[in-house]
Amino acid sequence: MNRSAHQNNLLPEYDTLIVFIIGEKKDYTAKFETEGKFSFNRDKDIWDDNYLTKEIDKLGVKDLEKIKCFLEDNLVEFKLPERLFENDLKKCIQILKRDFGSKVKIGQSIVNRDDSFIENKNLINNISWEFFKSKIVGHLQYNQMIGEFLSNPINRELKNDYFDTANAIQEFYNSKENSYDSFECIFKVIFQKINTYDDDITGIDTKMKILLHNMYFNCDIGNNPTNND
């Protein structure tokens, strides 16, 4: 019987015990006594790293977002040291405009998309699920902050620079689409074109990735699905 389940009075909440093995699961033959207080199947309810990875790969964006929020709430002291503040966002937009250029486009607005939309977008831009999960999803925690920053009237000029730079990136992609088999390649090209060596900002490359990944998620760069997709 799991002692911590008794101590924390978790038995009324959970009716199944899952055992997670860090490493590789072995062939267990021992009998696990549950005293009839919860369900436990020795063959199905002992998980290892390989099993957990396969199960995570089956999940959609919405479920991954729930897991991310749960981990952030419960493992806050172990979070990666990636931070994006308003001044960082200002600097990133300025660097993108300086090094990649800008193309004016009238009538741009901030739009939030649902999970099915982004899944279709990944498909038409050949963004792999592995890339989206490992590179982009973790940076979407800043999506609301970026939206609020750009929506603030005091940042109107920076908002225009943001959309003009996004338009320049999109025009470049449209002109070179046949040269690249995935928008993943465009992220690499952008970093080849920008030079942050003399920009005295701690972690600037990571902050640039946060901004670019949210640009993609918000459909400001990359091809977007139509109603027919």
Per-residue pLDDT tens, the chain, 229 aa: give them. 444 444 445 556 667 777 888 777 777 666 766 676 677 777 787 888 888 888 888 888 888 888 877 777 666 544 544 677 899 999 999 999 998 888 876 556 555 566 678 889 999 999 998 899 888 998 988 999 999 999 999 999 999 999 999 999 999 999 987 888 899 999 999 988 888 766 677 788 889 999 999 999 988 999 998 865 5
Residue whose structure tokens are 């760069």: 221
Torsion sign over Cα 59, 60, 66, 71: positive
CA dihedral 142, 83, 64, 40 (to 10 degrees): -150
CA–CA distance from 77 to each of 71, 96, 202 (Å)? Answer: 10, 32, 21
Residues 182/127, Cβ–Cβ less than 8 Å: yes
Residue whose structure tokens are 């831009």: 125
Verdict on whether the full-model pTM lies above 0.95: no
- Read off the tokens for 129: 């699920």
